[in-house]
A and B are shown apart, each in its own frame.
Chain A
């Protein structure tokens, strides 16, 4: 059965309204301040750390993102933590909020498909995060130039901008997840708690659970263990399990893109490093190739979660 008319009709209307709502909402303002303040603190730490080192480094700007000092985590570590929070904050009441305000049936009685409503809300959330990330990026680069006095190179700009795009995909995963929960659960509080619970599980508990699970699946070789060496099978299982978590994938993307000397994200054997100049940076394209599978996985996760939400929303009854 084919539907008549375009599923995108009304998309721009929903998108603009939701974007305006997000940008003017108190919730967003609180989240933005949270991000900005922690980011500035991290940056300050990074800048003072960089100032102390006298070593020559062609990627000083990228260091701003990744260097941590003392107890303060690095700027990207903070982003990896706060991006999910922001995405969940924007998505957890997307659909059940309309239900509870009793606006859903009135809006769907207008000549639009449900597709437009869901996609419009999702894109508006993404756009909001994109705007915030771009502002943060400008803040970092501006502060970097101002405080360090080193103009950024073209490659640094390119690497950090591509990082931004992947960070957006990472945000998309959490936004899609929060929206899925907002469709499945009628109460926004339940949706918010479940989203935050999932996030805590994957970001905090999973790094502890994954190695234990890997050892259960592929027990380490006793002889290697005596020598203090890891078993390859266990190592690979650990990594595979860790990569279920979007936070871990994001961490790997960050590593490959912002630390140009990263050659591989998996285990590397000595013979594979033969002829390599230790610590030498990779070309941008090579770093991108290293990060590519992780980035694709993030985008795929976002699409799968959005599709799950889409199916659930299409089947849902509109009446409250």
Chain B
């Protein structure tokens, strides 16, 4: 399997895993994984602790051996050419650590050296990266004084300084307060704007949903679901969109029935006398509005909700309990 990673045409995958297996003795941590990550996307690895996310990440970096199958990162095999891979990938480990007795600037200067950045460039790149994660003011303070959020940002600065093409972030927001989390997610979006492919592992479903283009759901070393959130919703919940309509019906018309007949709508639920919840396989707002108006109703409010990843997740594991075959089919 060869791919030209460097000057690849726009959408050639940057990471390709085929039947990836990692065994620890008798235990199988990663069990026949296959997935692809395309350039420029934010790909979420989702799942409970111990589902094999971190092991998969370590295999991408060549930091743990692959028992079976292949993985290709930017056209290289991380097991055989780890330096070529690690030169172009940035990695923010789970609960990243720094040398507490050094300042942020010194910490980055050390890794800059290890990255092989030219001496003349080093201090500029360190300073620029620290500015981007808004740590420039405290750059000369020892990392021991940093909060967890600041450490995570420092880890992100390291990836920016490296000018990595792929950023792998392992549980970057666990243990952060909501404000730091929001800030951090913004910075991840910024990375994406720079054209960096981001791999994000997390068990925080709502955050993943907020920023990921596609997600892979891990369970016991396997990917049981993969795709964008609307796709998964269609697959699991049977509908991708929930549209809420608040409208006063004209006397004598059954608005619920009118809405049900809109094409694409799978079900209509009457929440209150004047409120209806439609589940649909695409965004049916315009059609729903037209249907209300056509029935002489007064449209007060129209909102569309993507189904939450949490709902998908919960529902998926519920159905799985009933049907053991789903596991193998996925």
Verify A113–B83 contact, CB threshold 8 A.
Answer: yes
Verify A109–B54 contact, CB threshold 8 A.
Answer: no
Interface presence of A317 (CB below 8 A): yes
Report the minimal beta-carbon distance from B314 to chain A, rounded to whole angstroms: 29
Q: Given A318-B64, A319-B58, answer yes or no on A105-B91 (Cβ-Cβ < 8 Å).
A: yes
Interface presence of A14 (CB below 8 A): yes
A-B contact count (CB 8 A): 90
Kindly specify which of A5-13, A62-70, A262-270 makes contact with the partner chain: A5-13
Name which residue of chain B comes closest to A7, CB basis: B83
Interface presence of A110 (CB below 8 A): yes
Verify B63–A109 contact, CB threshold 8 A.
Answer: yes
Interface presence of B158 (CB below 8 A): yes
Report the minimal beta-carbon distance from A112 to chain B, rounded to whole angstroms: 5
Q: Which of B37-94 contact A (CB under 8 A)?
A: 54-55, 58, 61, 63-64, 79-84, 86-87, 89-93
- Kindly list chain B residues whose C-beta atoms are within 8 Å of the C-beta of A52: none
Name which residue of chain B comes closest to A25, CB basis: B101
User: CA A123 – CA B86 in complex, angstroms?
Assistant: 24
From A13, A14, A17, A102, contact of B97 by CB (8 A): A102
Report the minimal beta-carbon distance from B108 to chain A, rounded to whole angstroms: 11
Interface presence of B96 (CB below 8 A): yes
User: CA A106 – CA B64 in complex, angstroms?
Assistant: 14
Name which residue of chain A comes closest to B90, CB basis: A109
- Kindly list chain B residues whose C-beta atoms are within 8 Å of the C-beta of A5: 81-84
- Kindly list chain A residues whose C-beta atoms are within 8 Å of the C-beta of B55: 319
Interface presence of A223 (CB below 8 A): no
Verify A109–B98 contact, CB threshold 8 A.
Answer: no
Verify A111–B114 contact, CB threshold 8 A.
Answer: yes
From A16, A101, A112, contact of B99 by CB (8 A): A101
User: CA A17 – CA B113 in complex, angstroms?
Assistant: 10
Interface presence of B116 (CB below 8 A): yes
Report the minimal beta-carbon distance from A296 to chain B, rounded to whole angstroms: 35
From A2, A16, A105, contact of B93 by CB (8 A): A105
User: CA A8 – CA B181 in complex, angstroms?
Assistant: 39
Verify B100–A106 contact, CB threshold 8 A.
Answer: no
- A-side interface residues toward B, CB under 8 Å? 1-5, 9-10, 13-14, 16-17, 21, 101-103, 105-113, 317-320
